[in-house]
Amino acid sequence: MDARPLLFWVRWGGVAVCLVLGVMVQIDDSVAARRWLIGVSLIHVLAFLRVTRQFPPGPRSPTAWLALQLAVSLPLDSSIWIVNALSIPLAMPRETRRRWLIASLVLGVAGFALFLWLRLRSVQMEKLPLLDLAVALGVGYAEMVLWTLIAYFAAGLIVKMDADKRELAGLNAELMSSRAMLAESSRMAERLDIARELHDSLGHHLTTLNLELEIAQHCSPDDRDEQVRKAQFLARLLLADLRDTVTSWRRELNSGLPEALHSLSAGVSHTKVHVKIDPDMPALAPPHAHALLRCAQEAVTNALRHGGASEIWIEAVAAPGEVEVRVRDNGVGCARISPGNGLTGIRTRAQEQGGSAAFESPAAGGFLLSVRIPQTGDAA
Amino acid sequence: MIRLLVVEDETLFRVGLQKLLSLHEEFEIIGEAADGEEAVLAVQELRPDAVIMDVHLPRCSGIVALERLRELGVQTPVILLSTFDEEDSFLKGMRAGASAFLRKDVPL
């Protein structure tokens, strides 16, 4: 939950409580006392608003305003100390919060005593039993302390929630940038591999071919045929190099999905996962391979979580112009398939890559997912 | 007659280069080497007038071999060859004391 809307309600709720308390306690007072107390209440509200103005707290704590807020609380209703306890975690740095809480509780005693004196000064004290008065004072003060602590910790929780959220946002940003950096470094490594491959095999043979042609240009007509034959041999060698290099790249690109499916099966414990990959599996464009992998992951998760399967079969099949990944399990299946978030996600992923997804739950039990994605040849 | 030592690890290129240079009467190929360490020994032993050496060699690169030769006080002119334009290798080679840095496809 977001801490900012909570903070809004705490702040303006606090103002409302202050005003209600201010009006409530002043009903029985004389006109002069009421005017004086209204003034003090308004100063308290102003100080409370000023103290809680900046969130999260800035480098300069509103120490003077908080001191004023506590000071003007003395003649007001004792419940005002609960509002004061709210403002401490919202405005003060962590290390000074406890000191302010203690100060607030100590001042609360004085405030509570002052409040009672103001209320009871007209009452003839000798008519009140002393023990009853002491118990009433103790219970009243304990109640105030309890509510003050609840308010203090509740506000502290809001502050912590906000700090956690900000930290999480920072970590998330860090993670995103690391992921982007990792992807970029992986792309760079691939480019470097291609450059090295071009340099090591094709570059050398092309240079030698050029050299043989240069020799043919300079040598006698009798030797020229021999040179041309050599150049032709080198051209064939070059073609073979190129073929080998492209085949090796295709194989490397293709290795992504099968490896990932095998890793997926290795990561599942207590359930046997069988993986079968078509040996003629063509090279897949990375987004296609990624989509197929995510669909298989989702299907395996569903089989474990909802189906209670003891065995899962993953099969990657190459069909003309498309690639199909089938995930089958021996779980309980379901009488009626209603695509929830998981199955909807699978269908969306497949459709985003121009493919389709089909689900089936045979009467005998189990569940079958089939995802087909066209082969565009982007990878090759 | 300029006596040359050819240092190249790719056999096909090494043989072709020797043949191309042999077509010119002013050059005599007195030896060949397939790696940097072999090249250092061959230069000390054969005392060629000039060395034509690939930058990328196994065991010890052409630049390191050139540095060793200069450390040993051998001032034989060395022409470094490379398949590609490599600025870094060019600067290192020239700093090590190469007389020239040529691409392998340069016409003779």
CA–CA distance, B82 with A306 (Å, rounded to integer): 63
Distance of CA B81 to the CA centre of its chain: 7
Q: What angle do CA A290, A292, A296 make, to 5 degrees?
A: 115
| Contacts (Cβ under 8 Å, ≥6 apart) of A93 | A57, A61
Q: How far is B4 from chain A (nearest CA, A)?
A: 18
The nearest alpha carbon in chain A to B20 belongs to A215
- Residue A380 has a pLDDT of 38
B44-79: pLDDT as tens digits: 999 999 999 999 998 899 999 999 999 999 999 999
Who wins on pLDDT, A50 or A25?
A50
CA–CA distance, A376 with A283 (Å, rounded to integer): 10
- Residue A29 has a pLDDT of 61
CA–CA distance, A242 with A223 (Å, rounded to integer): 29
B85-100: pLDDT as tens digits: 778 889 999 999 999 9
Strands A356-360 and B2-7: unpaired
Q: Return the SS3 of A63.
A: helix
Strands A322-329 and A356-360: unpaired
- Residue A250 has a pLDDT of 64
Chain A residues within an 8 Å CB radius of B20: 211, 214-215, 218
> A-B interface: how many C-beta pairs under 8 angstroms?
38
Neighbours of A239 (CB within 10 A): 11
pLDDT higher than 80, residue A147: yes
| Contacts (Cβ under 8 Å, ≥6 apart) of A211 | B13, B16, B17, B20, B104, B105
C-alpha to C-alpha distances, A52 to A42, A48, A66, nearest whole angstrom: 15, 6, 9
Mean pLDDT of A16-45: 73
Which amino acid is residue A247, in one-letter code?
A: T
**pTM score:** 0.44
Q: Return the SS3 of A358.
A: strand
| Share of residues in chain A with pLDDT > 70 (%) | 86
- Residue A117 has a pLDDT of 72
Write down the mean pLDDT value for chain A. Answer: 80
Whether A207 sits inside 8 A of B20 (CB atoms) is no
Per-residue pLDDT band at A315 (split at 50, 70, 90) = very high
Whether A204 sits inside 8 A of B17 (CB atoms) is no
ipTM of the complex: 0.76
Q: Which residues of B touch A (CB under 8 A)?
A: 10, 12-13, 16-17, 19-20, 23, 83-84, 104-105, 107-108
- Residue B96 has a pLDDT of 92
CA–CA distance, A203 with B83 (Å, rounded to integer): 7
> From the candidates B19, B25, B52, B81, which should be mutated to test the interface with A, based on the most A CB atoms within 10 A?
B19
Per-residue pLDDT band at A252 (split at 50, 70, 90) = low
Q: Among A7-11, A24-28, A162-166, A361-365, where is mean pLDDT lowest?
A: A24-28
Mean pLDDT of A99-119: 81
SS (H, E, C) A65-131: HHHHHHHHHCCCCCCHHHHHHHHHHHHCCHHHHHHHHHHHHHHHHHHHHHHHHHHHCCCCHHHCCHH
Q: What angle do CA A184, A186, A191 make, to 5 degrees?
A: 95
pLDDT higher than 70, residue A309: yes
Write down the mean pLDDT value for chain B. Answer: 91
Give the highest mean pLDDT range of A48-62, A293-307, B41-55: B41-55
Chain B residues within an 8 Å CB radius of A215: 16, 19-20, 23
CA–CA distance, A49 with B34 (Å, rounded to integer): 84
Q: What angle do CA A242, A245, A247 make, to 5 degrees?
A: 105
Give the highest mean pLDDT range of A159-173, A244-258, B20-34: B20-34
- Residue A303 has a pLDDT of 82
Residues in chain A, total: 380
Is residue A298 a contact partner of residue A325, using CB atoms and an 8 Å limit? no
- Residue B105 has a pLDDT of 80
pLDDT higher than 50, residue A55: yes
